[in-house]
């Protein structure tokens, strides 16, 4: 088996009492495929948070070097102290840390290692392993190196666009956007047009069930299942319309994350057509309906044209990519805004607004490097429903 050439270490430690019962956790990831190849959980006994974090880093480095001593390594931790000390920008002053720091520096000496601080919410894999050690009070190492990579990860690049034909000058940070359409409402179920005006219904009973199912699927991202190779979700953004807020709240409760509301990603306005079926619109507004279909600049009476809507939703998309750079963010929205993100991801024309099917509580995943590059990972996935 070919040895991984680029590895990522995610490490974290914790202490319940500081000092108190402590544990450390580390995950070693093949950076070229996104596959977790080694998980380490160690129960330390009574120690401080800082000691646990250093021991997590030491265990992660030892694990990575046992896989390939010549690999290039990126260390990711939410401990600013450890990262800055290991990068040589801060001095190690505390007596408990000096010896541990020296041991880690000895492991790192002569290696190709980069040090990166990340927010706590992006370090959930290692945090879960540290808590596992504290809960079970035992050590456990789990090697996944010999498992056959899933088809979805064979050609996956953790940091850059995966295709060899993608531009080679990508410098913007990666933001993984997970687009979720809201659950069903009584208007969805009766096949009535439901835009950003008119009625503002909440989820139906079936819609709430769908939202709970999609929340469970989102909780698996970065941890298990078909998207374990992606980074875990660390932020949620939602349209302010009631059906999306209802869906986002269920997701928020499952993931223990807050929600940011963004009006720019609300559904397109259908104006006077809101609440009608398509057949009713054809009968009542026959000429306007035919002129509107497939048009870029024609709006429904008192509604939005695609050109106006697209300007709004692309502004919202760029705001998300700016605020959430380097994160995995769930965007809870509607059919047309999700298609707008797809249009940007594919650099497509107006046809992107009517060609993709977007089902209630479906998952669409797009990786964006600002406006420089994009990669479609999943489109309208409904296997969780």
Residue spans per domain, the chain: 6-153, 174-381
User: Which tens digits make up the pLDDT trace of 236-271?
Assistant: 999 999 999 999 999 999 998 999 999 999 999 999
Q: State pLDDT tens for residues 148-186.
A: 555 666 678 888 898 988 888 899 999 999 999 999 999
94 is catalytic: no
Give pLDDT, residue 1: 56
Q: Which CATH superfamily, name and number, covers 6-153?
A: Ribonuclease H-like superfamily/Ribonuclease H (3.30.420.10)
pLDDT (tens digit per residue) in 222-239: 877 788 888 889 999 999
**Domains 6-153 and 174-381 in one fold:** no
SS3 141: strand
238-270 burial: b if 16+ Cβ within 10 Å, else e: bbebebbbbbbbbbbebbebebeebebbbbbbb
Query: Based on the number of CB atoms within 10 Å of its own CB, is 205 exposed (0-12), middle (13-18) or buried (19 or more)?
Result: exposed
pLDDT of residue 153: 63
Q: Which residues pair with 330 in a beta bridge?
A: 178, 236
Residue of 182, 229, 334, 375 marked active site: 182
Query: What's residue 95's pLDDT?
Result: 81
Q: Is the peptide bond before 117 cis (omega within 30 degrees of 0)?
A: no
17 exposed, middle or buried (CB, 10 Å; 0-12, 13-18, 19+)? Answer: exposed
The closest of 64, 42, 59 to 113, measured between CA atoms, is 64
DSSP conformation letters of 50-94: HHHHHHHHHHHHHHHHHH-TT-EEEEEES-HHHHHHHTTSS---S
Average pLDDT of every residue of the chain = 92
CB-based contacts of 115, cutoff 8 Å, min separation 6: 75, 83, 86, 87
More confident residue, 99 or 353: 353
pLDDT tens track for 129-147: 999 999 988 888 888 765 4
The CATH class, in words, for 174-381 is: alpha beta
Predicted local distance difference test score (pLDDT) of residue 265: 98
Annotated catalytic, 182?
yes
Q: If you average pLDDT over residues 181-198, what whole number do you get?
A: 91
pLDDT at 229: 83
Among residues 10, 53, 121, 267, the one annotated as catalytic is: 267
């Amino acid at each position: 088996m070919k040895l991984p050439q680029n590895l990522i270490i995610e490490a974290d430690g914790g202490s319940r009492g500081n000092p108190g019962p402590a544990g450390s956790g580390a995950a070693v990831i093949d950076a070229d495929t996104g596959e977790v190849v080694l998980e380490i959980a160690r129960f330390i006994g009574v120690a401080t948070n800082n000691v646990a974090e250093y021991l997590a880093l030491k265990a992660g480095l030892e694990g990575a070097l046992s896989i390939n001593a010549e690999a290039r390594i990126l260390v990711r931790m939410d401990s600013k102290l450890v990262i800055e000390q290991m990068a040589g920008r801060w001095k190690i002053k505390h007596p408990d840390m000096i010896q541990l720091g020296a041991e880690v520096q000895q492991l790192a000496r002569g290696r190709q290692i980069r040090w990166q601080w990340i927010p706590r919410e992006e370090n959930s894999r290692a945090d879960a392993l540290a808590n596992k050690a504290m809960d079970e009070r035992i050590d456990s190492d789990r090697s996944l190196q010999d498992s056959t990579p899933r088809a979805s990860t064979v050609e996956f690049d953790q940091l850059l666009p995966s295709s060899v034909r993608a531009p080679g000058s990508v410098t913007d940070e990666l933001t993984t956007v997970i687009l979720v359409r809201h659950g069903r409402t009584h208007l969805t179920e009766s096949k009535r047009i439901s835009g950003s005006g008119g009625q503002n219904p909440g989820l139906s009973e079936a819609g709430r069930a769908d939202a709970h199912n999609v929340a469970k699927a989102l909780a698996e991202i970065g941890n298990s299942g078909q998207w374990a190779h992606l980074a875990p979700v660390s932020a949620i953004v939602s349209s302010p319309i009631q059906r999306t807020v209802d869906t986002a709240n269920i997701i928020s409760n499952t993931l223990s994350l807050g929600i940011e509301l963004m009006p720019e990603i609300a559904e397109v306005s259908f104006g006077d057509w809101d609440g009608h079926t398509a057949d009713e619109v054809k009968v009542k507004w026959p000429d306007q309906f035919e002129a509107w279909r497939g048009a870029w600049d024609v709006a429904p009476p008192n509604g939005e044209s695609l050109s106006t809507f697209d300007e709004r939703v692309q502004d919202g998309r760029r705001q998300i990519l700016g605020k959430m750079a380097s994160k995995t963010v769930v965007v809870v929205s509607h059919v047309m805004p999700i298609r707008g993100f797809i249009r940007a991801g594919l650099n497509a024309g107006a046809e992107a607004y009517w060609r993709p099917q977007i089902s209630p509580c479906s998952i669409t995943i797009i990786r964006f490097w600002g406006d420089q590059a994009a990669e479609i990972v999943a489109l309208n996935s409904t296997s969780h429903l």
